Structures are given as C-alpha cells and as structure tokens.
Amino acid sequence: MMLCDSCGIILIIKHQIPKDYSKQTVKHYNRTQVHRGVCVSRCGEHNVTSGWYDAAQACVSAGVAQYGLEAEVLSVDWCMSADSPPASSGPGRSLAVLVTVLAALACLATAVHVLGDRCAKAECNRYLLAFSLKRNYDILTYDRSKPRTDDRMKDVACIEGIRFLGMQCVIFSHVMLIYIYSYIDNPQFVERIYDKFAWQAVLNSPLWLQAFFAMSGFLTAYATLLSSKTKPITFFKCLMSIVNRWIRLTPLAVFALWFTVAWFPLLGSGPQWSWLVTREAHDCSERWWYHVLYVHNHLPTGKFCMGHTWYLAADMQLHVLGVFVLLLLRRWRGAALPLLLLLVTGSALAAGLVVYFYQLTPIVTAQTPEVLRTMFAGSQILTLLYLPAWMNLPGYVGGMGTAMILYYNNIKLKDSKWFNLLFHSSLFLGSAVLLAGAVFLSDSPPPRWAAALYAALDRTLVAVFFCIFMLGCFSRCWSAVRDALEWRGFHTLGRLSYCVFLIHFIVLRITLASNTQLGHASLLSMASLLITSSVLSYIAAVPLCLLVELPLIQLWKAVTEGEGPERTPQDQPPAKPFDLVAQIRRRHEAA
C-alpha cells in the first residue's frame, strides 16, 4: 500500500442549501465549511510556493464535482509526511532522561526499603525513601478511615468516593466535547441535542464543578483549623501553604505538559492525528509557562493546550485568597459570616451583571457547535463568566464555611430532623437548579433580566446545596449514599483523581485521533468511550502516582518537615545506624 502525506484542509462549499441551513447559527454547524483529512500527495505535486494548496484544491474539486458542486480550499494545515520519521527533539530526549532517573531512583529506594528492616528510620535514607514504591504504594492504598494525625479526619473519608464519582462526570462531559470538535459522520446528532431536554440539562452540568471547588476549600480550611492549636496560623505559614500547594500540583502537571509536547505526537498517525494531537503539542510548546504560573485561565481561548486544566489555575488562585482569609478569620472569628457572605454576594453580583450587560446566555457550554468545535475560540461566556477565579468563589467559600461549621459546631447535626431533611434533599435541589437552566436553551428564551438573575444564583445555590450534602456526610447523618461513598475501594480511586484528571484527555485524544475513519456520535458510543477512557486513565494513573506524584511530594516533606511525628514514635528507643550488609548476612544465616 502506497504511503502518503496527509493534511487537514478546510473548504467552502458554494451552494445555497448549506448556506440557508447554516443561518441557524445557534444550533447548527456551518455546513458550508467542510473539514477533511486528505492524502494530498495523491492529489498532485508539492509546490514550493503554495505548498500542498494546489494539490488539495485539485483533490477537492474532483471530489465535489460528481455531486455538481464547487468548493474552494481555505486552508491546508497540520500536514504529516509519511516517508520522513518523526524528528527527535530536545524535550523528548530530556523527558526520557527524567523518566529513566525516576525509575532508577524508585528501584534503588524500593530495594533499600525491602531489604532493610529499619531503613525507614535511618536518617541517611530519608530522602531516598521518598521514591520507594513500597512506601508510596502504602500511601496510595492507605485506609482514610484510620487517619495518621487527627481522628476527626476519619469523618471526611467519604470525600474520596465523591471525588471518584465526580471525576466520572468530568470525563463524560469531555467525552461529549471531544465528539463535538472531532470528525464524526453524523453532526446532526450534535445539532439535535440543543432541542432535547435531557441533553439540555447535560449542557448545564458544569454547574456541578462547584463541588470540586467546595471540596478544595473545605480540605484547605479544615486541615488548617485542625493544626492551628499546635501550629498557629501566621503570615509565614500562609506563604508556605501557597508554596506547598504549588509543589503539590506542579510536578505532575509539568510532567503531563512535557509528555504532551515531547512524546504525545510520536504515539500515532492518521488523518485526525495532526488536528487533535500535533496541534495540541504545538500550542503547549508556546503556552507551557502560563500553566506553570497558574494563570492560563485568563488566556485567549481557541488553543488546544490541556484546556481542562483551567480548573487548576482557578483553584490555585482561590487557594491564595483562601489562606489569607483564614488568617483574618482566625484572629477575628466574629467576622467570618459577614466576610464569607460578602465574597459570595460579590461573585454572584458580578456574574449577574456580566450576563446582563454583555447579553450572554447563562449556560456555560450551551454555545454554538462552531464555537465548541474551535475550543471556545472567541467565546465571551467562557472567558467572562466561567474561567475567572472570582466567578467560582461560591463553591470555594462554601467549602471553607462548611469546614468552620464542622470544626466549631458542637451540635450533633445528625440528630436534627430539619437538617436531615435538607441533607437528603440537597442533591435533588441542586439538580433542580441545573434543570431550570434548560429554559434558556429554548427557541424563545426568557428576558435578559431573568438570565442575569439565574446567572447570579445558579452556582451559588448549587454550591450551598452541595455544601449541605458534604456537611451531612461529615456529620455522619444516616444515608445509604454516604455509606456507599465510604467504601474502602474509593480511598485508592479517589487518591488517583488528580492523575486521572490530568491524563484522561490525553487518553481520549489517543483513542479518537488514531481512528482512520469518521466517528459516530451516539449515547452508546459515548458510554463506551467513557468506560474505555476511564479504565485506561486509572490504569495509567497508578505508575504516574507512584513514580512522579507521590515521590516528589514525599521528597518535599522530607526537606521541609524532617522526620515527622508518625515515623519515629517517642516511646520507641532510638534506632541504631543501619547496616545493609549486616542485615542481608543475618537474613541469609537465618534462612
């Protein structure tokens, strides 16, 4: 079979019928604009001045002529040559060196840990043991219902189950998105979802992202409050908390970016590969440092560089605000309610005013198929209403408030009838807020003031109802759902959520971009891709967690925290210097 050079081309069909159909820009694709992957080397010779443009035009003209149509090629981009091997790059070689070093350190540290009975207590091995697979596996699979520090942390063990289920919802939303902007043979399926109530609700599902912000705010505030008696909150501690958060998020995020730029384009080929993979690698090579600084949620949209990680930027910015708010509230506890209400009210008011004066639809992802196909290029809804950190204050501040109620409140909420009623209905009430947004996707949407009111209240109400649900779970209100969320298996799956969040889009792109045929969008195909990408993401997340995420976190802890209280109990005698050779000899003699 003859190999070929493939390019992604965009062409315009010159006919009145697709023009008339495309006038409904809210729900329809621009059917006059066709995207194709073409084997351009079979269409004609490569021209030095025009590249593959003339060859692509010849191919397109011959293809549409049989239907009595005319077409003009607008662009020929992301070409891939079949006879030239992928060029090796500096980032690719350096990433290979890094992976080799991490693997070698993991093997060495694991060997020392396994062979030495007391190496975990040996001062000289403290930094090396951060890379031990045995130790990091124990951390990954640790039972969260048996906390190492404060016993009160066992009440929040169910948060791992919430993380896992929430991550499945995130993956499904991205499965839906990738079908919209990849190549499918039934684009009418995407166009029809705007008219079906169930899909309209799905389009509004990003409201539940406030749950992740709420969990982040809760864990930050609750952990800080629990340690405040022995480690008072100070300005320096706030700065260290920000540094710790950066260290917690950045190594794995940079590794994923590095992989996307260096190795991702080398993993496959095909007519969709350049559009879905090579393009992202190119964009990430230009934008990576914005990601390292966590400001990429304020960049212009339309680029393909790990767009889903905007959440990390918003979360980091909210964390910076949150730790200093905790510093103020620890000193002036009586100002907690007014200050938190002020932050939430300001965010809600800003959302309402933005929707009103910019005449926007309050449903974040309910934008035209063409906007979604270009990764929200030029979208005001995304840049003004969805991505800024201050627009997501309700969830984060609600999580902080939940932590304060749980920490300071001596009332047993599980014995309160009215709170149990709120707790059991909270998720239904939050879903009702989500469903109410479907009216703004109708052919005759409500007036502008109603859209502004909904935009001001939607995230606030969803955050409030989710925080009530969290508070009920952590207060141990009786519920079959809470019992299910405390399942032991969720402890490990929840701990892998960050790795899965970073890499699941890579798995999705590999799955679709390697397909040499057009995809077919349907509920069954989406469910199939959800299961496939979820399973593959969790499998790939295990080595990432054990070799990259946990080792660097443990190394940072070894540098900043020293031995730590849990490694060397005070009631045990001090450990003798560790002698690896003597240990091996004694084991051999005993055998």
**Phi, psi of 577, deg, nearest 5:** -55, 140
Q: Which residues lie closer than 8 Å to 199 by C-beta, 6 or more apart?
A: 193
516-to-8, 328, 377, 525 alpha-carbon distances in Å: 13, 58, 26, 16
Bridge pairing between strands 33-39 and 6-13: antiparallel
* Alpha carbons within 13 A on the beta-carbon side of 455: 32
Res 208: pLDDT: 92
Residues 6 or more apart whose Cβ sits within 8 Å of residue 345: none
Extended strands (E) in 26-185: 33-39, 71-80
Among residues 224, 431, 249, which one has the least CA distance to residue 324?
224
pLDDT at 97: 94
List Cβ neighbours of 502 (8 Å cut-off, separation of 6 or more): 252, 253, 256, 306, 309
pLDDT tens per residue, the chain (591 residues)?
A: 445 677 777 778 877 888 888 777 778 888 888 877 777 777 766 664 556 777 788 888 887 788 888 888 887 776 766 555 555 578 889 999 999 999 999 999 988 888 875 555 555 578 888 999 999 999 999 888 777 776 778 888 899 999 999 999 999 999 988 888 888 888 889 888 888 888 888 888 889 999 999 999 999 999 998 888 888 888 999 999 999 999 999 999 999 999 999 999 888 877 778 778 888 888 898 889 999 999 999 988 877 888 899 999 999 999 999 999 999 988 888 888 999 999 999 999 999 999 999 988 888 776 778 888 777 877 888 889 899 999 999 999 999 999 999 988 866 788 888 999 999 999 999 999 999 988 888 777 789 999 999 999 999 999 999 999 999 999 888 889 988 998 999 999 999 999 999 999 999 988 888 887 888 889 999 999 999 999 999 999 999 999 999 999 999 998 887 554 444 333 444 444 444 445 445 555 554
- Biggest alpha carbon distance in the chain? 90
Chain centroid, CA 183 distance in Å: 23
112-144 as b/e: b if 16+ CB within 10 A: bbeebeebbbbeebbebbbbbbbbbbeebeeeb
Strands of the 6-13 sheet, one edge to the other: 33-39, 6-13, 71-80
State the Cα angle at 29 between 528 and 174, rounded to 5°.
30
Task: Name the nearest CA neighbour of 149 among 207, 225, 236, 75.
Answer: 225
**Rounded Cα distance, 314 and 336, in Å:** 22
Distance CA 71, CA 18 (A): 12
529: which residues sit within 8 A by CB, 6+ positions away? Answer: 175, 508, 511, 512
